[in-house]
Amino acid sequence: MAGGSGAKYIMGAQDSRQSEQKSRYRKLWFWVMAVTVLVAVTPLVILTFVNYFQYQRALKHEVSNRVNRMTSLTKRSIEFFLEERRSALIFITKERTYDELSDPQKLGVVYHNLKEILGGIVDLGFIDAEGKQLAYIGPYDLEGKDYSEQDWFHEVKLRGHYVSDVFMGYRDFPHFVIAVSAVGKGGKTYVLRCTIDSNTLEQQIMSLNLEPPSEVFIINRNGTLQTPSVSYGKLLEKAEIEVPSYSDTWEVTDTYDEKGHHLIKGYAYIDQSPFILLIIKHLPSSMESWFALRKSLWAILIVSTVVIVLITMGSSYYMVSRIRVADRQRAQVLHNVEYTNKMASIGRLSAGVAHEINNPLAIINEKAGMMKDLLSLSDDFPKKQKSMDLVNSILASVERCVRITQRLLGFAKHIDVRVEKIDLDQLVNEVINFLEHEARYKNIELQMEMEDNLPAVTSDRGQLQQVLLNIVNNSLNALAETDKEGTVKISIRSKGKDKVAITITDNGPGIAPEHLKHIFEPFYTTRNQGTGLGLSITYGIVNKLGGDIDVDSTPGKGTSFTVTLPIGGTA
């Protein structure tokens, strides 16, 4: 029970050490990857956000500048439109006399010329100083109408000119009025008044061709729409927008409407009129190119980050794997040195033991030989035959001990590295002879199978012996843990033109798949005894000799190790 507990403690310690090593390499890989990704991605993220806000600001500034230009140009266009008609009326008052303008026939000529040149003129009326319309040319019956109580009449007399809001009036269709006052011959004051279709005002702003939901329209100072709006109401309705504060020039503001829509609003008060020009630019619809660019920026950032992460994961995994391999190789080299020193010590000990045993064996052999000679010369020795059999048994045992000591000396002799031509048949027989007593004791049969006409290989005899001893010993130990009769078979065959394969096969318990991939790792063992260095050292020796080692195992059926060696030695 105590031995079992100790074995479990050793296995637990090994598992804990392996788990700690894996965790250390995993942490190293994580931190290498994290730092590399952070260093690589941080500048990319910073540049992306900088570009994001720079592009957004630049495009927003561009939209504001565009609205600013449209507002100023449209303001001038409307002012020119109104001034052109006002100037035309003033020109008429300068060119025509009071009597001519009060004559309906001559006023009609003026009306038709004005309508033909300027367009949009609905009617033309001549009003005297008392507010009575003395002459009227137009589609309505308004001659003789009294405007003396109208506010616009008093304003035009006071200021000399007047532009009205758009309204329905007697004509029952939307229009606005431009009127000028003048003093004719004889000091008579009068007013020349023309009605203009509001469509002409709308045409002045339609040339901007803004795409919905952005639009341009005109309101008066009370917020009543002077041109129709898709978003803010119909003509002559109260606009659903705040009337901007007065400014003697055009203004562009960045604001939000009641629904939370982001707007760039340009407005301008039209000089000498009640009109306020409004250009509403919905920022989201005006920055579609920015949204496309934004998607591209995010896509580039995401794709670049993914590529960087994948490359970093791969490269850091490769680097940590190389570090892990280097650590294993360093550990293996150290253990190889330790194992070689131990084997050298064992070899020296074996040589000393063999030498010390050979001396008394020689004495025993001589004495037994002398006894045999004496028995042969003496005819009347009692129980001669029985004594002779005993002496022969002694001599046979001495000969067996000599063979054992010779093998010990041969093993010790090959501890030092020495490349030579090796007969694999002889080498395998040496290994079998060295282990046959232990195999017989464990009830395990050692078999050898060799292909005919195999060439000798150029390699190190001692290290090849060590490889075969390690593998065969593993097979013997595995079979000792089972109750069935065991067999270890060593077969040698050629592999191609320049290689030889040595296969050691046993019918033991096999190796589980989860352990199979770790068997060549230092300190890895599945047995209750052992250091886990044998196969690791074997793997290193085979690689150093220029060969390969493969393992194939089926749980419950057995394990097969194949050592492939070059015939001509290390490449």
Q: Which residues lie closer than 8 Å to 367 by C-beta, 6 or more apart?
A: none
- The answer to whether residue 5 sits within a structural domain is no
Distance between CA 474 and CA 461 in Å, rounded?
20
Is residue 383 classed as helix, strand or coil in its secondary structure? Answer: coil
Distance between CA 314 and CA 36 in Å, rounded?
12
- pLDDT for the residue numbered 339: 61
- The answer to whether residue 434 sits within a structural domain is yes
DSSP code of residue 190:
E
- pLDDT for the residue numbered 318: 87
Residue 203's Cβ-count burial label (10 Å; 0-12, 13-18, 19+) is middle
Which two three-digit tokens encode residue 164? 């009205």
* Among 225, 257, 286, residue at a domain's last position: 286
Same domain for 421 and 272: no
Which two three-digit tokens encode residue 217? 């329209």
What are 124-163's pLDDT values in tens digits? 999 999 999 999 998 888 888 999 998 889 999 889 999 9
- pLDDT for the residue numbered 205: 86
**What CATH number corresponds to the domain at position 137?**
3.30.450.20
Which of 367, 484, 468, 375 lies closest to 414 in space, CA to CA? 468
- The answer to whether residue 394 sits within a structural domain is no
What are 2-27's pLDDT values in tens digits? 444 444 444 455 556 667 777 888 88
Is residue 508 classed as helix, strand or coil in its secondary structure? Answer: coil
Q: Detail the DSSP E strand segments found in 43-174.
A: 121-128, 133-137, 161-163
- The answer to whether residue 168 sits within a structural domain is yes
Bridge pairing between strands 558-566 and 499-506: antiparallel
Whether 549 contacts 503, CB under 8 Å: no
Helix 534-544 vs helix 461-480: crossing angle, to nearest 10: 150
- The answer to whether residue 407 sits within a structural domain is no
Is residue 124 classed as helix, strand or coil in its secondary structure? Answer: strand
Which of 146, 208, 139, 151 lies closest to 175 in space, CA to CA? 139
* Among 269, 286, 303, residue at a domain's last position: 286
Which two three-digit tokens encode residue 502? 């040595």
Strand-pairing partners, residue 558, are 554
Whether 216 contacts 74, CB under 8 Å: yes
- pLDDT for the residue numbered 6: 44
- The answer to whether residue 20 sits within a structural domain is no
Whether 127 contacts 134, CB under 8 Å: yes
Give this prediction's pTM: 0.51
What is the extent of the structural domain holding 518? 417-571
Q: Give residue for tokens 């008392």.
A: 130
Distance between CA 133 and CA 65 in Å, rounded?
48
Task: Give how many domains the chain has, as a whole number.
Answer: 2
- The answer to whether residue 373 sits within a structural domain is no
Whether 304 contacts 44, CB under 8 Å: yes
Is residue 250 classed as helix, strand or coil in its secondary structure? Answer: coil
**What CATH number corresponds to the domain at position 483?**
3.30.565.10
What residues in the chain have per-residue pLDDT under 50?
Answer: 1-11, 414-415, 571
- The answer to whether residue 542 sits within a structural domain is yes
* Among 222, 253, 286, residue at a domain's last position: 286
